[in-house]
Structure 1
Amino acid sequence: MAISLAKGQKIDLTKGNTGLSSLLIGLGWDPVKKKGFFGTKTPNIDCDASVIMLNEAGKLESKHDVIYFGNLKSQCGSVRHTGDNLTGDGDGDDEQILIDLHKIPSRIHSLQFVVNIYQPVQRRQDFGMIENAFIRIVDNKTNSELAHFNLTENYSGFTALIPGEIYRHNGEWKFNAIGQGTRDTSIGEIANKLV
């Protein structure tokens, strides 16, 4: 049964679960529906999920360590993005990232997950226009959900979110429910701060 996490909560993923090697990270969100004179209107908001692979110092060593819609697979083969969802419509995960824990190079100590709005300034959009955002961690072999974190805060004015990260600690992999909003306008802007 999945653990429902609160902001700032950390859990062990591999301790006591020695067979865990393949994860599916599901990220989801819905545009807020607005009621108008002629019915309900749903804005077209394109959110993009990404992963930034960081070293022990929390730094990004290479542009190839940013996995997003323009670079769907890490060079080491440990992280794979399944593709871009342009609308966020529908139930369940909007974008998914597959992780092979055994293939992650020893130089990588954390995988930071990011969701940002595509062209937020030009489109005048922010996360105040998004609801039901979540990140979930699934054992990809058994299809059992290990953890689920709903981002319930008001993120108005923010154009990117860091829902969480998977990180190494004492030889085990853990998940940290971060839930932090930023005003960065692209994954490149976020990545440049981590160089």
Structure 2
Amino acid sequence: MGINLSKGQRIDLTKTNPGLTKVIVGLGWDTNHYHGGSDFDLDASAFLTDANSRVNQESDFIFYNQLIHPSGAVEHTGDNRTGEGEGDDEQIKIDFSKVPSPIQRIAITVTIHDAEARNQNFGQVSNAFVRLVDEETGREVLRFDLGEDFSVETAVVFCELYRHNGDWKFNAVGSGFAGGLAALCRNFGLEV
């Protein structure tokens, strides 16, 4: 069992776990039942940014329509349209040894597809979590349960992995945005 983090907490990854190069970022959630008529479709994405949290090219945005970074460093394993079942709903694999040097941060986000049209938001989502697993051993290194402190948000930055003095660290972010994926893209410097 890994370390349970709180919002805003930061932890060393590669310094305290020597040899950790390949990780799986597992994301999960449940949706509260309501009578809106539409199913929920939550989508994980990764924004690979410079030190100023800006994406420099479109290929540095990994999501359901662009699953693998050209470097092979980041791979989205595929879209889960329902979130049904136990465990991870979506996963993003990261190989720290392949991350190009201009990339200093990897923000992991989750958005609700067509949230505005479906009248959905993260206030209707529960048990959201992100966990980081050592791909080689299957050991859960850490877990961050987001809690229930969202209401109208349609996008959430779950966490950020970032370089610091040659090592990788994890930041439990848990910050919400209104405006869905488009708002997140603008936040990270991508034109929508």
- TM > 0.5: yes
Aligned to 2:161: 166
Contact 1:160 1:182 in 2 (8 A): yes
Return the match for 2:91 from 93, 96, 114.
96
1:194 aligned residue: 188
Match of 1:45 in 2: 40
Output one character per residue of 1:90-139: Cα deviation in whole Å (capped at 9) or x when no partner.
11000000011000000000000010000111000001111000000000
Q: How large is the RMSD of aligned CA atoms in angstroms?
A: 1.5
Number of equivalences:
189
The correspondence for 1:120, drawn from 115, 122, 141, is: 115
Structure 1 residue 75: Cα displacement: 0.8
Q: Do structure 1's residue 12 and structure 2's residue 12 form an aligned pair?
A: yes
- Could you say if the C-alpha distance between residues 124 and 147 of structure 1 is closer, same or farther in structure 2, counting changes exceeding 3 Å? same
Distance (whole Å) between structure 1 residues aligned to residue 37 and residue 96 of structure 2: 38
Sort the Cα spacing of 1:109 and 1:123 in 2 relative to 1 into closer, same or farther, 3 A.
Answer: same
CA distance in 2, matches of 1:125, 1:183: 11
With over 3 angstroms needed to count, the CA separation of the structure-2 counterparts of 1:56 and 1:32, relative to structure 1, is same
Shift in Å, 1:43: 6.0
Write the letter of the residue equivalent to 1:72: L
Distance 1:137 1:62 in 2: 26
How far apart, in 2, do the equivalents of 1:50 and 1:91 lie?
A: 20
* Contact 2:126-2:148 at 8 Å conserved across structures: no
Structure 1's consecutive aligned runs of 4 or more residues displaced over 2 angstroms after TM superposition are none
Report if the CA contact (8 A) 1:21-1:101 is conserved. Answer: yes
Q: Distance in 1 between matches of 2:48 and 2:140?
A: 23
Report the equivalent of 1:143.
138
Aligned-partner Cα distance in 2 for 1:161–1:189: 10
Shift in Å, 1:18: 2.1
Structure 2: runs of 5+ lacking an equivalent: none
Q: Cα offset for 1:191?
A: 1.7
Does the CA contact (< 8 Å) of 1:31 and 1:44 recur in 2? no
Pairwise CA distance, 1:71: 0.2
Larger deviation: 142-151 or 41-50?
A: 41-50
Percent of aligned pairs with the same residue? Answer: 43
Q: Deviation at 1:33?
A: 2.9
Q: Work out whether residues 31 and 43 of structure 1, in 8 Å CA contact, stay in contact via their aligned partners in 2.
A: no
